[in-house]
Structure 1
């Protein structure tokens, strides 16, 4: 049973669920709280946040049960994808990491296949329920695409040049993006007939203010987190390809380290990391000017990125490439966790 759970990569699933929670309660609610903070700074308003009387529509518009279903859908589809990936990777894993092979040893192949079908099917159905209940039917293509992409990736795409890494990076970017794709249209729909209002109690009477939501700014934040996830995932996939080059080459795979050579793969990885660092520095210099962002981005995100780059540059053995990949995962987690700080930005 424990080995079957290991097939799903529970830590990665936990990170995915946490990412979606951070997008909803960190980014979306954080942006709303920043709007309230600006309102409280206006002349003549001398009350605390706790005294405000908020519009019932204040906050995320996807109901909590549907949001839970959306998270479960995403996690189940990812779990099914992880299982089928190990199912098709057994021969490669026997070369790269023979002591870690599970499918065909402690977990029967038919059990792994049934697990994949069950998780993927249930994940798709839950995603369809969320699309139906919200009236955003077009978003049903996301779980459908994810299930098909993970199957194709495991069967063939991961063994081909570029397409495998691009598929994983795209699916990783969808995790934060899907929250925005649901929440923002629902917020716009809820406020279509009347603007969001905030009532400020006064000594003699209450004063009600209309509050506009910065949809464009919210979208830019969501897209920023998705772009970060995409680029960071590309780096992680390249680092894993360099770690697994022995088994991949034996089975005729056409990954970047095999097709272009380890030196080119290493240079490309460093270029990707450099692009991430430059983008983060630009964000810090052009958008975020507070001390908290300075230290968090510099130490919490760029720090692990540079360490990962250093390990990638010097890596020779498989374990060293994996260590570089683990540092990249730390940078990814720290990057997504920045969403929790948005409400505190000036």
Structure 2
């Protein structure tokens, strides 16, 4: 196994990016042992999200030999057996980190949620990714679950305002990711046809799937904008809401013009997601006192 292939196999940049969801909730909720909670939380997320990426590549090895031969397994940089070994190590280590979070929080919830995350990752790779909207929803929840995980490793008795913030973070990110996954299905409709993936674009047509994508983008915009009225940040969040809402709206408008605009639509959706993630994280830093104006 080439060690240089590991970052690509784990998609480590994506998992670190996703770990900001856990960090956001931890800093927002400010548990008494925040650094310990923070480190154990992001460690579990990064390890288990990486494991999900590895198992996805294991299941996709035949397809990747045709469509993505440069990936670590089909290229020969990592054998399938080695990938299975890496997956096992990641899962055991990640669940171990979640078990530690359960110990310091005196509740089994972190370990239970982490275990469900592992199970969903395998189920998605084996079956759900071929099932259109169900697969899209799974992707959205799997990324955004970090907000919920960060909540339960921090406290089981959050204030109503902070609980509302975490729920809105989760709904916004999940909805936007579902919208983007549908757009990607429109963009990749020909390739998905060859692979037998039952995306909305294939089962409902491009126009209907575009409208469903717009619905989820609209849901994300409403959820994101609602953050302004909850009461923690006020005007500090306004620039991020305007920029994020505008990017999501542009994405929604573009996809209505058809498949030729799917790539640009997906790009603006990704920009909206990045703006939202940064905005959410800054909220938590202001709330924790790490940043101040």
TM-score normalised according to structure 1 size = 0.73
User: Displacement, 1:14?
Assistant: 1.5
Q: Which residue of 1 aligns with 2:270?
A: 326
Q: In the superposition, relative to structure 1, how do residues 229 and 282 fare at CA in structure 2: closer, same or farther (>3 Å)?
A: closer
Number of residue pairs matched?
286
Equivalent pair of 1:236/1:325 in contact (CA under 8 Å): yes
In structure 2, runs of 5+ residues without a counterpart are none
1:16 aligns with 2:18: yes
Equivalent pair of 2:183/2:266 in contact (CA under 8 Å): yes
TM-score normalised according to structure 2 size = 0.85
In structure 1, runs of 5+ residues without a counterpart are 30-59, 189-213
Q: Which residue of 2 aligns with 1:28?
A: 29
The structure with more helix, counted as a fraction of residues: 2
- Deviations along 1:60-115, one digit per CA (max 9) or x if unpaired, are 224533431221111100001011112222344455x5364332213222222221
Match of 1:308 among 251, 257, 265: 251
Match of 1:7 among 9, 12, 17: 9
Structure 1 segments of 4+ aligned residues over 6 angstroms from their partners: none
Match of 1:103 among 73, 79, 88: 73
Q: Which residue of 2 aligns with 1:218?
A: 162
Q: Which residue of 2 aligns with 1:284?
A: 228
Match of 1:70 among 41, 48, 59: 41
Q: In the superposition, relative to structure 1, how do residues 256 and 62 fare at CA in structure 2: closer, same or farther (>3 Å)?
A: farther
- Deviations along 1:283-322, one digit per CA (max 9) or x if unpaired, are 43675894433323112x1122123224433442775465
Match of 2:89 among 105, 110, 118: 118
1:247 aligns with 2:191: yes
Q: Output the CA distance in 1 between the equivalents of 2:238 and 2:37.
A: 36
Q: In the superposition, relative to structure 1, how do residues 4 and 310 fare at CA in structure 2: closer, same or farther (>3 Å)?
A: farther
Q: Output the CA distance in 2 between the equivalents of 1:298 and 1:220.
A: 20
Q: Output the CA distance in 2 between the equivalents of 1:5 and 1:162.
A: 29
Q: Output the CA distance in 2 between the equivalents of 1:259 and 1:133.
A: 47
